Chain A
């Protein structure tokens, strides 16, 4: 059974600082997704990682995938307030997704 563990569950950051969210999954997975959710909103797709060593970047966010370690990371560079949201990773089996618990990110001025 595929399980996904995400940590930390809550992250309070100062603006301008860097931090990393970790996502471990228990068995082989086809793809690894990162989503952002703002309060009261749906999920926004951030990244899809398909292969070992994949790295994708968008603005201050960079995601990477190590399939051998079954680990994906979401790195935040020089955080700004607008990045405050809940971030979910999800691993896929077939087209189904198993989600991590989510990381609530709060960026303080």
Chain B
């Protein structure tokens, strides 16, 4: 089965710094998405990562805070900028594999901001 790899799996960061999370897929996908899961909460969609163009952000999320790149069909990055403790969450990459009709999730990147 296809593999979705996220790096880093976890990190502890200082307030005011930025961290980039990578998502690599080993087969073709139609869509790539980034979700956030705050502690003890459900998942919220941050944005759709569009290949070769700017990401499409959901209400409450902005490019300056969460810049996203998707240079090709199988790779995307999410940066969490100028972090604060409120950004402590699990960030998950989700993909829609071609012709599966399902959305699968990466292992997640657990971020703790001190």
Residues of A within 8 A of B (CB): 31, 33, 35, 40-43, 45, 48, 50, 88, 90, 92, 95-102
CB pairs A–B below 8 angstroms (12 shown):
A35-B105, A42-B92, A43-B43, A43-B92, A95-B33, A96-B48, A96-B58, A97-B103, A98-B45, A99-B44, A101-B42, A102-B42
List of B residues within 8 angstroms of A41 by Cβ = 107-108
Contact with A along B42-63 (1 / 0, CB 8 A): 1111001000000000100000
Q: A96-B45, A101-B41 are in contact. List 14 more A-B contacts (CB 8 A).
A: A33-B102, A35-B105, A42-B92, A48-B101, A90-B43, A92-B103, A95-B48, A97-B33, A97-B43, A97-B45, A98-B45, A99-B42, A100-B42, A101-B42
Contact residues of B: prevailing secondary structure: strand
Question: Nearest residue in A to B93 (C-beta to C-beta)?
Answer: A42
Q: Are A45 and B42 closer than 8 Å at their CB atoms?
A: no
**Cα A95 to Cα B41 with chains together (Å):** 21
State the CA gap A49–B110 with chains docked (Å): 30
A42 & B108 in contact (Cβ 8 Å cutoff): yes
A-B residue pairs, 5 tightest by C-beta: A43-B105, A99-B42, A99-B43, A42-B108, A42-B107
Which residues of chain B from 26 to 42 have any CB-CB distance to chain A below 8 Å in the complex? 30-31, 33, 35, 41-42
Secondary structure of the A side of the interface?
strand
In-complex Cβ contact of B96 among A42, A95, A100 (8 A): A95
Residues from chain A with a CB closer than 8 A to the CB of B41 are 101
- Taken together as a complex, chains A and B put the C-alpha atoms of A101 and B84 apart, in Å, by 24
> Which residues of B are found within 8 Å of A35, using beta-carbon distances?
105
Closest chain B residue to A89 by CB distance?
B42
Residues of B close to A43: CB separation below 8 A: 43, 92, 105
Cα–Cα, bound, A83→B35 (Å): 25
Interface residues of B in 95-114 (CB under 8 A from A): 96, 101-108, 110
B104, A45: Cβ atoms closer than 8 Å = yes
- Interchain CB contact under 8 A, B92 and A50: no
Assuming the contacts A88-B42, A101-B42, asked whether A45 and B108 have C-beta atoms less than 8 A apart, the reply is no
Contact B107 A95, beta carbon cutoff 8 Å: no
